[in-house]
Structure 1
Amino acid sequence: MLTIVKRKYPFINREISWLYFNERVLQEAADKTVPLIERLRFLAIFSSNLDEFYRVRVATLNRLVDINSKTKTLLGFNPRKILNEIKNLVVKLERRFDYLYEDEIIKELEAQKIFIINEQQLNVARGTYVREYFRRQVLPTLVPIMLERDDHSAFPELKDRHIYFVVKLTFRKKIKYALLEIPTAIISRFLILPENKGLKFIILLDDIIRYCLDDLFFIFEYDTIEAYSIQLTRDAELDIDVNMSDRFVDALMQSLQRRDKGRPMRLLYDSDIPLDALNYLVSQMRLDPGAMIPGGRYHNFKDFIDFPNVGSDALEYAVQPPLRVHNLDLSRSIFGQMAQRDYLVNLPYQSFDYIVHFLREAAIDPKVKEISISLYRLAENSSVINALINAAQNGKRVNCLLELKARFDEEANIYWRNKLEAGGVNVNIGIVEYKVHAKICLVARREKQGMVYYANLATGNFNEKTAKLYGDHSLFTVNPMITKDLKRLFKGLENKVFHRAYKAIITSPLETRNKFYQLVDREVEIAKAGGKGYMILKMNSLSDDQIIEKLYEANNVGVTIQLIIRGMCCLVPGIKGFSERITVRSIVDRYLEHARVWVFGNGGAEEVYLSSADLMTRNIDRRVEVAFPIYDPEIKSEIRDLIDIQLRDNTKAREINQLNNNRYIGAKRKIKHRAQEDSYHYLKYKTSTT
């Protein structure tokens, strides 16, 4: 049963809702129709998600625990109670995780003649191979720390999300403990062993070290030696003094240095660890009992995203070659083609190369005078950055609004800032209190009739890597209403000023809330007049209290609302008097559904918006975001078709309901619809018939 916060209307706590989302990721690992290696990777995604959840959301809740009762009333929930519920849910999910890995996936790999073996399963030949590898590659990187058992000794500072062994050495009932970091940052977690008679063997770095502990602790006498893994997750929130805006980069760097020493949020430990060793850890680390989470033998499972496929290609998803965009030719000037009409790139089904081509052409075109762009997360080897530096070196004025506060990308973005500035790009790091999350680019090109502006607006980042994994939309347009708005927006951001009254785009932090309300109110008036009021909203997350209350109000006057929400959803559908006309579905599949789409009925003249913003309070009130209208009828029809495909999904779509049981929608139907497969084939067919 879900946790409904006490408000005037039904509302599920956002952290609890997020855990139910991560359960949907775990469902993919359990789905036997998913290729086997991909199931392992979904376990890795689940694990990585949970790490970040503890570093950010649980950390925030812990900061709220000690606030006064009046503030708790304003919050609408008791943080300590939610933390207890989080622990109970996480323990259940971890048990499910362990079962899937140990009792299903490993056995199914064995049926494919792939064996993940531990140190106790090594025969003489493989043992010799492992020990030689250990001595050559692993041993030089290991530095055990012997632990004193008295109360006065300082316990070593554990790094955030690193794996450690607690090593227990017993000699004639005397016990010594040691702490050993597993060097996964510099050595692969997986070692492929020599094949034998068609059988393939893989051993984890953890078990290589377990097998060779005697090589490491040879100076000690012991009767038994045991090693149990632990992993500490710390508070990763940054404490930055906004009054240091004139020295913001220095303040950010100082805060990043403190992140690895943040307050412990979770100690994940091997549930087989002896009680005396566990009690020793708890006493030495002074951990809150609520932070203790029993787990399996292996931690930091996110490394399994790189698990090697030593079997057949069928163990992974088949490669889907990127499709071309109808009538948009990469061998011709993209500006010349944009002058004729708008174009939409549907990622990852169509290639991110179109966006790179747009920037590269702008960089070398003598008629281009200025490029303005906002950047949030970038690929490790970014063609976007290279194109911008190339443009600056070719004499263009390049203005880059780079968000340094993009969570967990702060250090990377500081690096990019320095590289861009060294390359002659004008870098603006925005306003300290507001993250710039908009994904927009504007190119000024001098033509016969004067300066003409070419724009790219997207729901996802200018990032080649995630563009292959995330479902997003990217619009090319020369529509003057949109380009004039973007010109004004970039000018305002350059001067650290927010404007209102844009003609086409909808921006946060000043306008999104009110303009969204106006769009909803129009559907309300249509329904009140006896017409068909409806909206379809797709996003990653829905958690803003006031938006949810507004949707409930629309429901109560007869507006039909269909929601497609991948992640957390604090709205509770299907409750009489609040949400009986509201349905919510979540699609979790091979690609991460990242696009934000708003469809409003508008009395039969549908309006479609794409947006960088989820309907969360932070995106609406505390970030710079851009929602933009789709004017081109063909593109509007294409987006609508893709939304309809998602509304038909009865394979990977789950129903979000009052029970939050993640029930698959229409799973027993004979005709199967899988949105991501159907979207690819829809776009492929559309291209092949023109």
Structure 2
Amino acid sequence: MSLKRIPLTNREISWLYFNERVLQEAADEGVPLIERIRFLAIFSSNLDEFYRVRVATLSRLANLNERSKEIFGYNPRKILSQIKNLVIKQEKKFNNLYENIIVKKLAEEKIFILDEKQLNVARGTFVKTYFREKLLSNVVPIMLNKHLVMPELRDQAIYFFVRLSKEGQTSEAKLALIEVPENMQRFLVLPETNQLKFIILLDDIIRYCLDDIFFIFDYDVIEAYSIQLTRDAELDLDKEVSEKFIESLSKSLQKRKKGKPMRLLYDTDMPMDMLSYLVRKMQLTASSLIPGSRYHNFKDFINFPNVGRPELEYPKVAPLWVPNLSFGKSLLSMISKRDFLISTPYQSFDYIIHFLREAAIDPGVREISITLYRLAANSRIINALINAAKNGKTVHCLVELKARFDEQANIYWSRRLEEEGVNVIYGVSGYKVHSKICLVKRLENRKVCYYACLSTGNYNEKTARIYADHTLLTANKKITSGLVEVFAALQKNIVPQGIKTLMVSPVDSRKMLYKYIDQEISNAKKSIPAYIILKMNSLADEQMIAHLYKASNAGVKIKLIIRGMCCLVPGVKGNSENIEVISIVDKYLEHARIYIFGNAGKELMFLTSSDLMTRNLDNRVEVGFPIFDKELKQEIRDIINIQLQDNTKAREINSLNNNRYHKTDDKLKVRSQFDIYTYLKQKK
């Protein structure tokens, strides 16, 4: 099947439709009010990263030459135009939702977000005092001069573009920039009055106190409009894996702050002559201008304080314990007898911490090998590894320095680990190591035994509270022997391959997936029931999509659960009539990757760190691992079945891209994330 003929949704456009689903959560009246504000923050944060990375890449492609369409199969300039149109529509929905709905709902709860014009004398005095004591020394304006070069704005920082003028004499006005401090709380809770709660944003505190900043100037009118610049965040790296690479990466991180401007978000109330000044001085294009509201960096609203009822947030739910896996006994001894599955955040991430802590102090443990991609700020994983090294264990730790936006943190952790005696591996040249694997080598009765911890998500105790992932604890030799080969290759800085029991990218996983899909095609042609169920974050690889279309045309029933971008178009006659796709966006971030193949009644199941994207299949070291234990296979299957029946938070992915809510034959309300918690709670 020719890739040029198959129906595909452009990946960037598909991603924007995913972010629209996040916006739907903010609009959902069934979602607690403070959580709706947080979904607005997630939408905004997602969009920032989208511009820093995806739009930046498209802009580079568009600037190559006129043959871009021929080379890439689409016209980057046309896609950039579509992106801008969609983003402007979404920003309008966003602003309307916040200003006309969320703010009013807060008022109904007796919570008021005040701006600088709504302060009475008492609250104004409180704000002035706060500003002079906490803020004034951190706020230094940059006075602009038409004869001087415009200072470079920092990526994603909020600025006020200020004009000081005499009444009716803007031509003689003074212009200035004020950077809003990043190290200050964005929200100030004001004194309560008659059970009414008041909050003011840092932005409006500065607006209220502009006269304290510009007191030396003679003016009648002062105007201040917020702007935010998003820059190209892609890195130009020396690929050599060495100390030289770390130096190169550190320099590139500094360059990121001064990357090419991708988007200027500006207050729509800004006068046209002021906007024109910015465009001219910053050499911006029309396509990079995005009208917005008076508040930018809305991602900070993820920390919006709940000063009202507890019911305005989702109730805190205690993580569940895994049946028969006790903290009071040796985890390694229990794992030696059977496999265990931990489904976070429903179940406690502490099991992973205790697995490493036990390995760190167990006299029988000789060696620990682990790959790390994203870590918590105060990582207990790192502490366990350091303590293992101090206890005389040999610890091999591969820290992926190219984990986007975590590069600086991972440089810090790698140096800290080295200082403590850990053998730090800096990855495989030309590839990101995205796998989430850990292997413990233990001597038992003079015999070497291995214990493994493999996951679909990061070894990160912070994100484990909100990311839905699965982690397998096993001593199964079919899996541990494969991991021994993987780590042996990584320690030699070479790509692992030829490992039969594991699905390892970048060499083998694509071939293995094709083999399993082809087997389902063969079964369908023999009238043997054939099906495929895939769950992942993103589906974008065109060859894989073509293979799934081929399976659909052969009669294979395919069900997909895809949270983010999906370039496959389901339900298209002659291509994808047997394919259904849903996307679940809810309280937790669906992050697990699960591949299931019917296999003529002997179902095959893999968990993996990999999405079906070209980068995961061909340019990253990923590890997929089979589930052999019958009880665990059934548990994962039950969880998948609950998700397929979700008729509350699941949306259909279809050719219309309308994010229609998924309806099922089940008359009962099924909200998979809540029902999965109940399911796991009832297990004995």
Paired with 1:300 and 1:432, the residues of 2 have a C-alpha distance of 35
Alignment-mate amino acid for residue 608 of structure 1: M
Q: Which residue of 2 aligns with 1:32?
A: 29
Contact 2:241 / 2:428 at 8 angstroms: preserved in 1?
no
- Please, which of 323, 333, 338 is the counterpart of residue 335 of structure 2? 338
- Please, which of 180, 183, 187 is the counterpart of residue 182 of structure 1? 180
Aligned: 1:211 with 2:201? no
- Please, which of 597, 604, 627 is the counterpart of residue 630 of structure 1? 627
- Please, which of 71, 74, 79 is the counterpart of residue 76 of structure 2? 79
Aligned: 1:163 with 2:158? yes
**Percentage of pairs with the same residue:** 62
Q: 1:667 to 1:51 in 2, by over 3 A?
A: farther
CA-CA distance at 1:500 after TM superposition: 2.6
Unaligned 5+ residue runs, structure 2?
Answer: none
Once the two structures are superposed, the pairs formed by residues 250-289 of structure 1 within 5 Å of their partners are 250-289=247-286
Unaligned 5+ residue runs, structure 1?
Answer: none
Q: 1:121 to 1:77 in 2, by over 3 A?
A: same
Paired with 2:19 and 2:381, the residues of 1 have a C-alpha distance of 32
Q: Which residue of 2 aligns with 1:564?
A: 561
CA-CA distance at 1:480 after TM superposition: 0.5
Paired with 1:475 and 1:331, the residues of 2 have a C-alpha distance of 20
CA-CA distance at 1:498 after TM superposition: 2.3
Q: Which residue of 1 aligns with 2:656?
A: 659
Q: Which residue of 2 aligns with 1:597?
A: 594
Contact 2:646 / 2:664 at 8 angstroms: preserved in 1?
no
Alignment-mate amino acid for residue 30 of structure 2: T
Paired with 1:657 and 1:112, the residues of 2 have a C-alpha distance of 38
Residue 317 of structure 1 aligns to a residue whose secondary structure is coil
- List per-residue Cα deviations over 1:7-39 (Å, max 9, x = no partner): 210011000000000000000000000000000
Contact 2:645 / 2:666 at 8 angstroms: preserved in 1?
no
CA-CA distance at 1:420 after TM superposition: 0.3
Q: 1:245 to 1:77 in 2, by over 3 A?
A: farther
- Please, which of 515, 523, 530 is the counterpart of residue 533 of structure 1? 530
Alignment-mate amino acid for residue 127 of structure 2: V
Q: Which residue of 2 aligns with 1:319?
A: 316
Residue 669 of structure 2 aligns to a residue whose secondary structure is coil
Q: For structure 1, which segment, 249-258 or 469-478, has the greater mean C-alpha deviation from structure 2 after superposition?
A: 249-258
Once the two structures are superposed, the pairs formed by residues 10-29 of structure 1 within 5 Å of their partners are 10-29=7-26
Paired with 1:668 and 1:107, the residues of 2 have a C-alpha distance of 37
CA-CA distance at 1:503 after TM superposition: 2.5
Residue 424 of structure 1 aligns to a residue whose secondary structure is coil
Residue 19 of structure 1 aligns to a residue whose secondary structure is helix
Aligned: 1:361 with 2:349? no
Q: Which residue of 1 aligns with 2:401?
A: 404
Paired with 1:669 and 1:565, the residues of 2 have a C-alpha distance of 21
Paired with 1:244 and 1:353, the residues of 2 have a C-alpha distance of 33
Alignment-mate amino acid for residue 292 of structure 2: G
Contact 1:159 / 1:260 at 8 angstroms: preserved in 2?
yes
Paired with 2:161 and 2:33, the residues of 1 have a C-alpha distance of 32
Q: 1:338 to 1:668 in 2, by over 3 A?
A: closer
Paired with 2:185 and 2:540, the residues of 1 have a C-alpha distance of 39
Q: 1:466 to 1:581 in 2, by over 3 A?
A: same
Contact 1:651 / 1:667 at 8 angstroms: preserved in 2?
no
Q: Which residue of 2 aligns with 1:678?
A: 675
Paired with 2:160 and 2:312, the residues of 1 have a C-alpha distance of 32
CA-CA distance at 1:532 after TM superposition: 1.0
Alignment-mate amino acid for residue 253 of structure 2: L
Paired with 1:436 and 1:77, the residues of 2 have a C-alpha distance of 29
Aligned: 1:475 with 2:442? no
Contact 1:28 / 1:589 at 8 angstroms: preserved in 2?
yes
Contact 2:428 / 2:494 at 8 angstroms: preserved in 1?
no
Q: Which residue of 2 aligns with 1:446?
A: 443
Q: Which residue of 2 aligns with 1:108?
A: 105
Paired with 1:544 and 1:499, the residues of 2 have a C-alpha distance of 22
Alignment-mate amino acid for residue 170 of structure 1: S
Aligned: 1:386 with 2:383? yes
Q: Which residue of 2 aligns with 1:138?
A: 135
Paired with 2:627 and 2:104, the residues of 1 have a C-alpha distance of 50
Paired with 2:131 and 2:465, the residues of 1 have a C-alpha distance of 36
Alignment-mate amino acid for residue 12 of structure 1: T
Alignment-mate amino acid for residue 295 of structure 1: G
CA-CA distance at 1:59 after TM superposition: 0.3
CA-CA distance at 1:170 after TM superposition: 1.4
Contact 1:244 / 1:251 at 8 angstroms: preserved in 2?
no
Q: Which residue of 2 aligns with 1:117?
A: 114
User: TM-score normalized by structure 2?
Assistant: 0.98
Paired with 1:37 and 1:415, the residues of 2 have a C-alpha distance of 34
Contact 2:606 / 2:626 at 8 angstroms: preserved in 1?
yes
Contact 1:371 / 1:441 at 8 angstroms: preserved in 2?
yes
- Please, which of 39, 47, 50 is the counterpart of residue 44 of structure 2? 47
Paired with 1:196 and 1:497, the residues of 2 have a C-alpha distance of 65
CA-CA distance at 1:501 after TM superposition: 2.2
Q: Which residue of 1 aligns with 2:221?
A: 224
Aligned: 1:650 with 2:647? yes
Q: 1:6 to 1:81 in 2, by over 3 A?
A: farther
Paired with 1:114 and 1:564, the residues of 2 have a C-alpha distance of 38
- Please, which of 425, 438, 444 is the counterpart of residue 428 of structure 1? 425
**Cα root mean square deviation, aligned:** 1.2
CA-CA distance at 1:449 after TM superposition: 5.5
- List per-residue Cα deviations over 1:66-95 (Å, max 9, x = no partner): 223444213110000000000000000000
CA-CA distance at 1:304 after TM superposition: 0.3
Contact 1:481 / 1:503 at 8 angstroms: preserved in 2?
no
CA-CA distance at 1:244 after TM superposition: 7.4
Residue 663 of structure 1 aligns to a residue whose secondary structure is coil
CA-CA distance at 1:243 after TM superposition: 5.2
Q: For structure 1, which segment, 594-603 or 498-507, has the greater mean C-alpha deviation from structure 2 after superposition?
A: 498-507
Paired with 1:624 and 1:71, the residues of 2 have a C-alpha distance of 29
Paired with 1:669 and 1:660, the residues of 2 have a C-alpha distance of 24
Alignment-mate amino acid for residue 316 of structure 2: V
Alignment-mate amino acid for residue 614 of structure 1: D
Paired with 1:186 and 1:107, the residues of 2 have a C-alpha distance of 29
Aligned: 1:614 with 2:611? yes
CA-CA distance at 1:669 after TM superposition: 7.3
Aligned: 1:455 with 2:473? no
Q: Which residue of 1 aligns with 2:547?
A: 550
Contact 1:342 / 1:632 at 8 angstroms: preserved in 2?
yes
Paired with 2:33 and 2:664, the residues of 1 have a C-alpha distance of 21
Aligned length: 680
Paired with 1:536 and 1:104, the residues of 2 have a C-alpha distance of 39
Aligned: 1:578 with 2:575? yes
Paired with 1:497 and 1:187, the residues of 2 have a C-alpha distance of 45
Contact 1:460 / 1:595 at 8 angstroms: preserved in 2?
yes
Paired with 2:285 and 2:391, the residues of 1 have a C-alpha distance of 58
Contact 2:161 / 2:225 at 8 angstroms: preserved in 1?
yes
Aligned: 1:292 with 2:294? no
Residue 117 of structure 2 aligns to a residue whose secondary structure is helix
- List per-residue Cα deviations over 1:165-200 (Å, max 9, x = no partner): 0011111403211100011x2111100000000000
Residue 120 of structure 1 aligns to a residue whose secondary structure is coil
CA-CA distance at 1:375 after TM superposition: 0.3
Paired with 2:139 and 2:236, the residues of 1 have a C-alpha distance of 33
